[in-house]
Amino acid sequence: MASYYDIDGILMEEEFVPVVFQKAINGVNIDESTEKGCVEQGSKTELPFWLAHELHMRQAVSISVPNCFNQKTRLEIQADAACVDLRSRCPYFYEFGCKLAPLCDKSIGLLLSYAFQIRYKEVLHKAHTTAFAAASKFLMLLTKEETYLYDAAQSSMLAFKKWRMGGPRLQRASILGRKRKPAE
Amino acid sequence: MAGQSDSTMSLFSSEEIEFMAEDEMTEIVPNLRMDSLNFICGDYGPFLPQLAAQVPLWLALALKKRGKCTIRLPQWMSVENLTRVLEAERDSHAFQPLPFHYIEISRLLFDHAREDIPDMYMVRSLVEDIRDVRFHKVETNLEKFTASTVTWKNMSAMEVNVIRAFAGRALQAFYKHDNEQQTPDTDRALDKQPQIPTDRPKRNLKPR
């Protein structure tokens, strides 16, 4: 899962996090409207996670909790995790949260596992019972990881059903179906 | 493994499971005289008319298709046994012991040897019922599991295969989240301590 070339891992690190600069930095501009050409100490901005993480390790910035883990989302998840639209908030909710938890807020870990436990059951139910057309609305709420789970369950169930129904056992070689060319 | 159709998920397709099921032994009653057959997987025969012989299912089906034998229904596929199993399945939470490949074997026999099965429709509907009850059980079990150990006895090949991809992913996710809470793992702990930038100029390393 944690392969270097994992496309989801790469996309996940593109998510923006709010940061506060702890140092003044010369030669960088985070805001086009200022013409100073430097970043002052204490200025706030949003950076992609991969950059924020590197800067954090060098104590240049402090990371604060991004929107998708704010108090409002937490309350919604506590109320009914299964109905929260996590995809629009952050498609890589779980992976992002795992990376973020040690950097800014430890309690994210708890939130993640709580949300996953509840939502997992929902995915399980929907994957094995609902027809595909009816599920599309539900699919809009899922994060990437949950969508993979859903697809895995659905596709193996479909494959099994297809096998059980049978169908043509022997596949006709494509060459057999061809008609002979009419003699000219 | 060579037979895997999807290497990334390490999944078997249903057809591959069926192929494996064809190695199960079945009893046939041949109606021809034939010397013993010597295969890599073993020697079968000699075959004498009206004398029962043990052969793998694939051989039994091949002979059956040519009208050279009748297949004896396995013990567990009798109506009495299936009724008993179905009742037991409904009563308890545990899975009843059935052959590992019961879904595939019954399907192959229904397809190719229907005239050898007395009460074909009864047997077929019983097997379908058992399968449905067990699938439902699998789903309720899935609902309950978390990252702790999971022990389900007597699951059959096809049942395992249907949930393989889903359960694998789900367990991985559960494991990840549980670990995240309990032990901040070591390399993360190292990451947490920000590297303190030093003002000293970098020392050049001596070439070895």
Chain B residues touching residue A62 (CB < 8 angstroms): none
CATH class of B13-72: alpha beta
Q: Check pLDDT > 50 for residue A171.
A: yes
**Nearest CA to B176 among A74, A149, A73?**
A149
- SS3 category, B44: strand
How far does B187 lie from chain A, in Å, by closest CA? 11
What would the mean pLDDT of A167-177 be, rounded to a whole number? 63
Q: How far apart are CA A40 and CA B7, in angstroms?
A: 52
Which residues of B fall below an 8 Å CB-CB distance to A?
A: 9, 11, 13-15, 18, 107, 111, 139, 142-143, 146, 158, 161-166, 168-170, 172-174, 176-178, 180-181, 184, 188-189, 191-192, 194-197
Is residue B8 very low, low, confident or very high in pLDDT (cuts 50, 70, 90)? very low
Q: Which CATH number fits domain A1-64: 3.10.20.30, 3.30.70.360, 3.40.5.50, 3.40.50.2300?
A: 3.40.5.50
Q: Does domain B74-182 have CATH number 1.20.58.1020?
A: yes
What would the mean pLDDT of B114-140 be, rounded to a whole number? 91
Would you state the pLDDT for residue B139?
Answer: 86
Q: Element (H or E) spanning B133, and its range? A: helix B120-144
Would you state the pLDDT for residue B122?
Answer: 93
**Nearest CA to B60 among B37, B19, B89, B27?**
B27
Q: Check pLDDT > 60 for residue B110.
A: yes
How far does A34 lie from chain B, in Å, by closest CA? 28
Which A residues, 22 through 81, put their C-beta within 8 Å of a C-beta on chain B? 56-59
Domain range summary for chain A, segments of one domain joined by +: 1-64, 68-164
Q: Do A112 and B177 touch (CB under 8 A)?
A: yes
Q: Check pLDDT > 50 for residue B155.
A: yes
Is residue B29 very low, low, confident or very high in pLDDT (cuts 50, 70, 90)? very high
Would you state the pLDDT for residue B71?
Answer: 93
For chain B, what percent of residues have pLDDT higher than 90?
A: 46
What's the pTM value of the predicted model, to 2 decimals? 0.75
N-terminal to C-terminal alpha carbon distance within chain B = 46
| pLDDT tens-place string over residues A81-127 | 888 888 888 888 888 888 888 887 778 888 888 888 888 888 888 88
Q: How far apart are CA B69 and CA B119, in angstroms?
A: 19
Would you state the pLDDT for residue B151?
Answer: 77
Residues of chain B with CATH 3.40.5.50: 13-72
Q: Check pLDDT > 60 for residue B188.
A: no
Under CATH, which architecture does the A68-164 domain have? Up-down Bundle (1.20)
Would you state the pLDDT for residue A157?
Answer: 85
Q: Do B172 and A153 touch (CB under 8 A)?
A: no
Would you state the pLDDT for residue A4?
Answer: 81
Is residue B191 very low, low, confident or very high in pLDDT (cuts 50, 70, 90)? very low
Average predicted confidence (pLDDT) for chain B? 81
Q: Check pLDDT > 50 for residue A136.
A: yes
| pLDDT tens-place string over residues A143-165 | 888 888 888 888 888 888 888 88
| pLDDT tens-place string over residues A19-55 | 888 888 777 776 666 666 677 788 888 889 998 999 8
What would the mean pLDDT of B14-22 be, rounded to a whole number? 90
Map tokens 């069926």 to a residue. Answer: B18
Is residue B189 very low, low, confident or very high in pLDDT (cuts 50, 70, 90)? very low
Q: Check pLDDT > 80 for residue A182.
A: no
